[in-house]
Structure 1
Amino acid sequence: MAAKIDLVPEQRRALARAKALAIAADLLWLAQAASIAILIAGWLDGGVAQPVLWVTLFVSAGSLRAILSARAGRIAFDLGQQVVSLTRRRLLDREAPRPNSTLSSAEVAAMVTDKIPLLAPDISRYRIAFARVKVVPIVLLLVVLSQSWAAAAILLVTGPLIPVFMALVGMAARDASAKQMVEIGAVNRVLVDHIAALPDIRLLGGFDRSRRAFAVHVDSLRERTMAVLRIAFLSSTVLELFAAIGMAMVAVYVGFTLLGEINFGTWRGTMTPATGIFILLLVPEFFQPLRDLAAAWHDKAAADAVRDDLENAAGDETAAILGAGGRVTPLDGPVMIRVREAQVLRGARHIALPDIDLGPGQSLALTGPSGAGKSTALDALAGLLPLSSGHISVQGVPLDDAHADAWRARIAMVPQRLHMPDAALHDILDPHGTGANLADALSRADATDVVAALPDGLDTRLGETGAGVSGGEARRLLLARALFSGADIIIADEPTADLDTDTAARIIAALRRAQSAGATVIVASHDPNLIAAMDRVVSLSGPDS
Structure 2
Amino acid sequence: MMRHLVLTTGCGVVITGSAIAAAVVLAHLVAGLITDPASRTLAHCAVSLWVLVALWTIRTLAQWAQARVGQRGATAAIAEESRRLLAGVTALSPRDLAARRDDVATLSTRGLDALRPYYTRYLPAVVQAAVLTPAAAATMAFYDLQAAVVVLIALPLVPLFMVLIGLVTAERSAAALTAMTTLQSRLLDLITGIPTLRALGRADGARRRITELADAHRRSTMATLRITFLSSLVLELIATLGVALVAVSVGLRLVYGEIELSSALTAILLAPEVFWPLRRVGAEFHAARDGRTAQEKAAALLDGTAPPAHGTRTPSGTSIAIRDLSVTARNGDAPHRLSVDVEPGSVTVLTGPNGAGKSTALHAVLGLTAPTTGRVLVGGVDVGDLDPGQWWSHIAWVPQRPALIPGTVGENLELLGPVVHLEEACRRSGFDEVLASLPDGLDTVIGRDGAGLSLGQRQRLALARAFGAHRSVLLLDEPTAHLDPERERLVLQSIREIARDGAAVLVVGHREAVRAVGDRVVTVGGEHHVAA
TM-score for the superposition, normalised by structure 2: 0.89
The residue type paired with residue 24 of structure 1 is: V
The residue type paired with residue 57 of structure 1 is: V
Tell me if 1:365 matches 2:349.
Answer: yes
Aligned position for 2:397: 413
CA change 1:526–1:318 in 2 (3 A) is farther
CA distance, structure 1, for counterparts of residue 3 and residue 431 of structure 2: 60
Pick from 27, 42, 61 the counterpart of residue 55 of structure 2.
61
CA distance, structure 2, for counterparts of residue 491 and residue 88 of structure 1: 32
The residue type paired with residue 160 of structure 1 is: P
CA distance, structure 2, for counterparts of residue 373 and residue 367 of structure 1: 10
- Most deviating of 212-221 and 79-88: 212-221
CA distance, structure 2, for counterparts of residue 111 and residue 401 of structure 1: 33
CA change 1:346–1:86 in 2 (3 A) is farther
- Most deviating of 288-297 and 271-280: 271-280
Tell me if 1:157 matches 2:136.
Answer: no
CA distance, structure 2, for counterparts of residue 331 and residue 121 of structure 1: 49
Pick from 275, 292, 299 the counterpart of residue 287 of structure 2.
299
Structural RMSD (CA): 2.7
Higher helix proportion: 2
Contact 1:97 1:321 in 2 (8 A): no
Contact 1:409 1:487 in 2 (8 A): yes
Alignment of 1:210-221 (within 5 A): 210-221=206-217
3-state DSSP of counterpart to 2:448: coil
Alignment of 1:305-316 (within 5 A): 305-316=293-304
Query: Which digits, 9 at most, give the CA deviation of each residue in 1:219-265, with x for residues without a partner?
Result: 3332322222111111110111112222223333333444x3xx3xx
CA change 1:270–1:74 in 2 (3 A) is same
Alignment of 1:143-542 (within 5 A): 143-258=139-254, 260=255, 263=256, 270-317=258-305, 331-333=315-317, 335-346=318-329, 349-351=332-334, 352-431=336-415, 434=418, 437-541=421-525
Aligned position for 1:100: 95
Deviation at 1:293, TM superposition (A): 0.8
CA distance, structure 1, for counterparts of residue 3 and residue 144 of structure 2: 38
3-state DSSP of counterpart to 2:446: coil
- Give the fraction of aligned pairs with identical amino acids, expressed as a percent: 32
3-state DSSP of counterpart to 1:100: helix
Aligned position for 1:91: 85
Contact 2:125 2:277 in 1 (8 A): yes
CA distance, structure 1, for counterparts of residue 453 and residue 289 of structure 2: 49
The residue type paired with residue 156 of structure 2 is: P
3-state DSSP of counterpart to 2:38: coil
CA change 1:421–1:70 in 2 (3 A) is same
CA change 1:469–1:321 in 2 (3 A) is farther
CA distance, structure 1, for counterparts of residue 496 and residue 361 of structure 2: 21
CA distance, structure 2, for counterparts of residue 94 and residue 203 of structure 1: 38
CA change 1:201–1:293 in 2 (3 A) is same
Contact 2:405 2:450 in 1 (8 A): no
Contact 1:176 1:224 in 2 (8 A): no
Which segments of 5 or more consecutive residues in structure 1 lack a partner in the other structure? 1-10, 264-268
CA distance, structure 2, for counterparts of residue 21 and residue 467 of structure 1: 51
Deviation at 1:86, TM superposition (A): 0.8
Contact 2:342 2:505 in 1 (8 A): no
- Most deviating of 237-246 and 462-471: 462-471
3-state DSSP of counterpart to 2:377: strand
Aligned position for 1:71: 65
Which segments of 5 or more consecutive residues in structure 2 lack a partner in the other structure? 528-532
The residue type paired with residue 344 of structure 1 is: V
- Most deviating of 469-478 and 366-375: 469-478
Deviation at 1:295, TM superposition (A): 1.2
3-state DSSP of counterpart to 2:95: coil
Query: Which digits, 9 at most, give the CA deviation of each residue in 1:382-431, with x for residues without a partner?
Result: 22222222111112221124344323222111222143122322232234
CA change 1:104–1:206 in 2 (3 A) is farther
Aligned position for 1:16: 6
3-state DSSP of counterpart to 2:182: helix
The residue type paired with residue 47 of structure 1 is: A
3-state DSSP of counterpart to 1:82: helix
3-state DSSP of counterpart to 1:503: helix
Contact 1:25 1:64 in 2 (8 A): yes
- Most deviating of 88-97 and 137-146: 137-146
Size of the aligned set, in residue pairs, is 520
Aligned position for 1:46: 37
CA distance, structure 2, for counterparts of residue 162 and residue 112 of structure 1: 35
CA distance, structure 2, for counterparts of residue 436 and residue 507 of structure 1: 18
3-state DSSP of counterpart to 1:28: helix
Tell me if 1:27 matches 2:17.
Answer: yes
Deviation at 1:88, TM superposition (A): 0.8
Deviation at 1:362, TM superposition (A): 0.8
CA change 1:312–1:420 in 2 (3 A) is same
CA distance, structure 1, for counterparts of residue 232 and residue 322 of structure 2: 64
CA distance, structure 2, for counterparts of residue 222 and residue 292 of structure 1: 26
Aligned position for 2:27: 37
Contact 1:365 1:531 in 2 (8 A): yes
The residue type paired with residue 410 of structure 1 is: H
Deviation at 1:300, TM superposition (A): 4.2
Deviation at 1:67, TM superposition (A): 2.4
Contact 1:489 1:521 in 2 (8 A): yes
Contact 2:475 2:507 in 1 (8 A): yes
The residue type paired with residue 473 of structure 1 is: Q
- Most deviating of 288-297 and 189-198: 189-198
CA distance, structure 1, for counterparts of residue 525 and residue 197 of structure 2: 30
